[in-house]
Chains A and B, each alone.
Chain A
Amino acid sequence: MPQNIAAAKTTIGLIVSSTASMVGASTSAIALSDQLNQRHEFLYLDLPIWYFFTAVFALSAIGAVASLFTDTIKDSDYRYLSIPRKIAYVVCGFLCGIIGAFIILPSFTANPEMGIMMMTALVLSFSGMVLINNLSEIKRDDELQKSIRTLIISRLTAVLNFLGGGKK
């Protein structure tokens, strides 16, 4: 499909040039408030664009707080989370949502719709927080790290043995 390849090429070109245009837009004479008040149609409503950005921020906060209630992060008989750690987790999840909606998504699609931005903020703040929690648990637990390392090494040696035809 040559037309698809051509479209992919133009998309990559747009991603590369978008950073330059962003810098240019920030220095342009149009005030930021005017840009934020420009109209955008969503669900038959004609709303100013800052409504959507506020919704993105709120949804990433909701996603981060909601993941505190999953049984991955929730307090249980086996683990207890102190309040500063909980706050740090929520801040990390919020940042994940914001980064996902304003940096990762625009780099994937040239001009994303507002619904997708909100969806991305919600899902990525939630999932980012759970992943951060899991990674920090692994980082904190020396035994777990050791077991993961031995598992990976044993699998790799098994594969190498199979490829090399040697015996264990």
Chain B
Amino acid sequence: MIFDWITWMMINSTIPFVGVLLSGMMMFSSKSCTSSKTTSTLVILFALIWLNLIWADFGSEVFAPSRQTMSARGLLIMAMIFFGFDVRKNTLNSAKKDSEILTLKIKVAAMQQYIDKQKGRHNHE
């Protein structure tokens, strides 16, 4: 079974790498727009948090993982996932609004053309 050789310690040391990967995905993905300064700074700060946890896991002689630090890591990664959901939702919403505005602009231009045509016909008559 796969659960026989997965230990809590392994989960503890994998979570920071998952977090770094997630922040990289958020920065590079076209579905989550991070061009706003606040969003990109937040993602980068998350990446720095995970880097510091990697330093604590593999470089520190003082740090000893416990159940509390593991649960804190889990909560932190959940916070990051929900932040990613929020960014994606905002990106999709703004994309929808952009396309709506575009269709409305096209409709207005068509109506304007029609009105001009009618006016021209009227003047001609």
Contacts and interface: CB of A to CB of B under 8 A. Distances in A.
Nearest to B28: A70
A138 to B, nearest CB: 7
Contacts of A72: 27, 34-35, 37, 40
Contacts, number: 70
A13 interface: no
Contacts of B34: 70-72
Interface stretch (A18-26, A30-38, A117-125): A117-125
B56 to A, nearest CB: 9
Interface string B18-30: 0010001001101
Nearest to B60: A109
Interface in A34-72: 67, 69-72
Chain B interface residue count: which class? 20 to 34
A108 interface: yes
B81 interface: no
20 contacts: A7-B62, A67-B27, A70-B28, A70-B34, A105-B55, A105-B59, A108-B60, A109-B55, A109-B59, A109-B60, A110-B61, A113-B59, A115-B58, A116-B55, A126-B24, A127-B44, A127-B47, A127-B48, A130-B27, A137-B37
Interface of A: 4, 7-8, 11, 67, 69-72, 76, 105, 108-110, 112-113, 115-116, 119-120, 123-124, 126-127, 130-131, 134, 137-138
